[in-house]
Structure 1
C-alpha cells in the first residue's frame, strides 16, 4: 500500500459506541478519524434504555444537560405476566441518581446518537467522514495501513490505530479473525419493533414506566419517549435455531399476536399489539464470544466485540463502557498497541459476563410451566427493591 501518514486513531463506525469512543479518545488527547460507511450518519427509529453505568460515563463527557433534554426518566420498571397482566414486581427507580451516580434514561435512539454527533463535531480533535468503509488492513514495521472504500474508489491511509465499532457484522472483525466459525449466527429470536402514538396506547400503559410482559417463548417491552408523545414497543419472539424462511419485513398486529402466542393474553397487552399494523422485523444476530478482541494496533468495540441479546438492555451501555476504558487506556501517552492491550484487560471479563447474563435472562423471561411458576413466585417474594438489587452489579 502507498500510505498517507497520520497519527490519528481511526474509529470504524459512527453509531453510539463509535461516537462515544471518539469523544473519550479526544478527551484523552488523541486525534480521531471517525469513518462511517453510510452516506449520512443517522439512526433508525427505535427506543433505547441507558442504565446508570453508561449514563455516568456520558455525564463525565460534559453531556448532562443534553442527556436530560433528550431523555425521559422512568419512575419504575414493572414486570407483568402476559397471560393475565398480574404485576409480579415493581422496581422503583427514583433513587437511582443518588445510588448509582446517574438515573435510568429512555431515549429515542436517534436523539442520543445526534447529541453525541453534535459533541463530536464540536471537538477539534475529531474528524468525521461519511461514505467511508474500512476494509482490509495490515501492519508493517510497527505501522498500520488501512484500505478505505468510498464512492470515489479505494484509498490507502496510515493510522496510529484502528477500532472496529462497526456492529455485529463488523468487517474489521472479519479481517482480524479470518475464521468462518466466527461468522454471525441467528440467536433464535426476532424482535418486532414499533413506535406508537401515545393516544393509540391503552391509557394505563402510558405512564412513565418501563413495562416488561413475560410469556412462554416471547415477551414484550414498552415505554414512553419524547415527553410521552410516543411509546416504544418491542415484541421478542423465539423462532428456533434457524432464522425463519419467511422474511417479511413487516407484520400487522393480529398476525404478531398469533406468532407470539399472545392471542389469549391480558386485554391491555392484546390491545397494544393489535392496534398497530406496521411492526418492523429485526432478527437478532450474535457471534461467538472471543477470547481476545485485539491484535497489535487493531481492536474491537461494542457489538463488533461482544454482541449480546437485548434481555438486559445493556448492548449500548457496554459499548459506552468500552469507550471510557479506551480513553483511560491511552493515559500517559501509551501507543495504540499498548493501550488496546490494557483496554482489553480491563473490559473482556466484564463484557463477556454481561453477554452470558443476557442469554440467561432470556431463558428466565421466556420460561414455560413449571419454571415460569417458580420464577413468578421468586419475583413476588424478592419484591421490586430486591429485583433491582439483583442487577446492581450492572449499574454500579
Structure 2
C-alpha cells in the first residue's frame, strides 16, 4: 500500500500538466494498493480466528445457480441447498441474483465500447533506464489523457512504491478477440502499438516496458430502483456496476461492507433484518446510483450527466470537478450508517 500525496491530470499527447494536484483539498489520506494484495488482506481478516466475531468459511467451486429470496436459500451447481437468515449476493456485473430482486423488471449489463489493459512494471526497471528514470514519481497517481477523450492511461505506485501499476483505457482497441475475463493475456507490445496513436513518445517509452498484459472489455449498467427483496441483498457490482473513471468500483463495494458491518453488528433479532436492510438502502443506494452515473463517462462529465447524477442526491450540486471530488471522497459511510441507525432506534 502507498499513501498518495499528489494526483495529477496530464495531457498525454504533449505531456503538459493540466491539473497539478487533482485532490489538493482532500484532507483524508488517499492510498494506492495492488488489487491482489487488498483481496488477500480482506480474506485474511474475514477468515482468521483472531479478532472479534466468528471467522468466515470460504467454499470454492460452489457456483450458485438459483436464489430463493423469500426463504433465504441458494442452490449450487452441485445441487447443494444452503439456507441463512440473509443472503448477500456479490455475484458481479452479470448478477443472477438481481433478477430475483427486481422480478419482471429486466436489466442487463452491456458493452460500453471501452476496454482496458493492465500491467505491472518493477520500479527498478524504469529507474535503471535513462529514458524512463525521470518519469518516476513516488506516491503520485497520474492520469494521462489522449486527444478527444479517445484513451487514458492511469499510472500509480503500489507495494511501497516498488511496483508501478498501469491501466490503459480506450474506445479504439480491437476487442473482437477478447471478452470480459480480466485474466485474458495479450502480447506485451500491444499497448505500445496502440499508444503510438494516443500518447507522446516520452510516454511511449514507459509503455514499452509493459509485460504480462491483461486485456478485457469494460461492462456497465445503469442504476436500479432497489437492492434487496425479502432475505436477498445485492452489493458490489451486482448492485452498482460502474466504469473506472471515478476510481470508485472497489471503493463503493467497501462502503457496502462498511454499512453492513455497522447495521448488522450484534444483531440477534431476525425480525429486525428487514428494517436494517431498509436503512442500508437509505445510506447506500442513492449514493451508489449517483456515482454509477458519474463514473460511466470519461471525465469531466458533461452537464447532462451531472444533472442526471444529482437527481439521486437532492441538495448536492455537481457543478464543478471539485464538487464531484468532494462528494466522492468526503463521505464517511461508518458515521452515516451509525447516524441512520440511531435515528431509527430513537
Q: What TM-score, normalized to structure 1?
A: 0.67
CA distance in 2, matches of 1:203, 1:163: 46
Q: Does 1:219 pair with 2:219?
A: no
User: Structure 1 residues 232 and 203 mapped into 2: Cα distance closer, same or farther (>3 Å)?
Assistant: same
Q: Does 1:238 pair with 2:163?
A: no
Partner in structure 2 of residue 145 of structure 1: 73
Report if the CA contact (8 A) 2:69-2:101 is conserved.
no
SS at match of 2:276: helix
CA distance in 2, matches of 1:93, 1:287: 27
Report if the CA contact (8 A) 1:83-1:265 is conserved.
yes
CA distance in 2, matches of 1:159, 1:344: 20
Q: CA deviation at 1:365?
A: 8.2
Partner in structure 1 of residue 9 of structure 2: 79
If asked which structure has higher relative contact order (CA below 8 Å, sep 6+), I would say 1
Unaligned runs of 5+ in 2: 127-131, 303-319, 331-346
Q: What is the aligned length?
A: 294
User: Structure 1 residues 251 and 342 mapped into 2: Cα distance closer, same or farther (>3 Å)?
Assistant: same
SS at match of 1:192: strand
Report if the CA contact (8 A) 2:3-2:30 is conserved.
yes
User: Structure 1 residues 144 and 275 mapped into 2: Cα distance closer, same or farther (>3 Å)?
Assistant: closer
Aligned pairs for 1:242-391 within 5 A: 244-247=175-178, 249-252=184-187, 254-260=189-195, 262-263=196-197, 265-330=199-264, 333=269, 335-360=272-297, 362=298, 364=300, 390-391=324-325
Partner in structure 2 of residue 57 of structure 1: none
Q: Does 1:126 pair with 2:55?
A: yes
SS at match of 1:219: strand
More strand by share: 1
Unaligned runs of 5+ in 1: 1-70, 367-385
User: Structure 1 residues 365 and 267 mapped into 2: Cα distance closer, same or farther (>3 Å)?
Assistant: farther
CA distance in 2, matches of 1:105, 1:324: 17
Q: CA RMSD in A?
A: 2.8
Q: CA deviation at 1:166?
A: 1.9
SS at match of 1:135: strand
CA distance in 1, matches of 2:329, 2:95: 27
Q: CA deviation at 1:126?
A: 3.5
Q: What TM-score, normalized to structure 2?
A: 0.76
